[in-house]
Amino acid sequence: MADDPGTLSFAMVGGDGPHSYRHNSSYQAGVVASAKTLIGNAIAEIFDVNHLTTSSGSIGIADLGCSVGPNTFITVKNIIDSVELKCQSHGFGSQVLEFQVFFNDHVSNDFNTLFTSLPNDRHYFAAGVPGSFHGRLFPKASLHFVNASYALHWLSRVPKDVVDEQSPAWNKGRVYYTNAPNQVVEAYSAQFSVDMESFFKARAQELVSGGLMTLVIPCLPVGTAPSQSPLVAVADLLGDSLLDMANMKKWTRSTYPATPQELENLIKRNGCFEIVKLEPSGRAPVTKETAPNVQMFMSHLRAALGGLLGEHFGVEIMDELFVRLTEKVANSSTLSPSSYRMVVDLFVLLQRKAA
């Protein structure tokens, strides 16, 4: 189905170059690794292979916000391995099942790189599904398992009020909501709520009754100031870097790390899913010894934002921009362990209620 014309289309940096997401996503790989056991346990405990495979010999799996790999392939393998193990424990061979995997991301995603990287030993049929996951992507009751890892904090659009000069939430002179008035933060929260309501409504129609959905999303604990999170605080330094370059062209970041309570309330408001788990993913806390160095952090940030920034400001200034930004991050406390711990990788396991 067509995307809302007001919806943003953005993607991680594609290709196989030094700034690509493919080569700068080890943090997200750690998130996938920390969720592996949780996903495996969920399938072992509540994925009903007898019921869910009665009407069809195929299992529909979707990874939303897949980007270009390799993390999406690891996630899919973890899911399929766990389902096959569950089948064996119930006395029927996995060879009776076929797996259809749908890789979804925005239309601007580098699907060419994704599909040229498909594992040769995969046990599934693969298809790409371009489009925003904030709306419908699949036919009704066609999916048995949905995953979205480090994707849902991206908003479908910049909140309208923060770019409206007549609004109390106008975010004048900022690229994000760090140290902004409460009205600006509330505008981001409101947009996140709208997006999640659309997301859960769409998935409720696409998942079969009893189907599972796993989410991993970066969240801020209640009471944590946005400036304590490097995901948020680095935006101010980005704005300063642009000013240093005398670039006054307006750009606003469109992500929002919600609190666990916000997310839980939105799931309950939808009413179509049973919350089986909603807890930290189990990723080890960041310490002085394990905190990412500045270069690694900046490489990951450029892989995530470089495409958007290049499209808006011009790719010709990206090298200078990130050199300046790297210097500012290195001379700040942005990556101190006391701040970095404040981001919680929340693992959410949902089961579709009977329609």
Catalogue all structural domains in the chain, each as residue range(s) with its CATH number: 21-352 (3.40.50.150)
> According to the model, what pLDDT value does residue 93 have?
63
User: Could you tell me how far CA 87 lies from the centroid of its own chain?
Assistant: 29
Max intra-chain CA distance, the chain: 67
State the Cα torsion 143-202-32-297 to the nearest 10°: 150
pLDDT tens for 117-142 read 999 999 999 999 999 999 999 999 99
> 3-class SS at 253?
coil
In sequence order, which residues have a C-beta less than 8 Å from that of residue 219 and are 6 or more positions away?
A: 257, 258, 259, 260, 263, 343, 344, 345, 346
Determine phi and psi for 149, rounding to 5 degrees: -120, 120
CB 254 within 8 A of CB 194: no
Residue 186 backbone class (left: φ over 0; alpha: ψ -120 to 50; beta: rest): alpha
- Whole-structure pTM value: 0.91
Does 146 or 249 have the greater pLDDT score?
146
CA distance 76 to 99: 10
Return the number of other C-beta atoms located less than 10 Å from residue 129's C-beta: 16
pLDDT tens-digit readout, 239-295? 888 877 766 567 788 999 999 999 999 999 999 999 999 999 877 666 556 667 888
Tell me if 99 sits within 8 A of 124, measured CB to CB.
yes
Q: 3-state class of 270 per DSSP?
A: helix
Two structure tokens written together for 284: 């080890």
Q: What is the rounded CA–CA span in Å between residue 352 and residue 355? A: 8
The pLDDT tens digits of the residues spanning 170-183 come to: 998 888 888 889 99
**Order of strands across the sheet that contains 207-219:** 125-130, 98-105, 58-64, 143-149, 207-219, 344-352, 273-280
Q: Give the integer Cα–Cα distance in Å for 257 and 192.
A: 9
Per the model's pLDDT, the better-predicted residue between 229 and 46 turns out to be 46
Where residue 353 falls among pLDDT bands split at 50, 70, 90?
very high
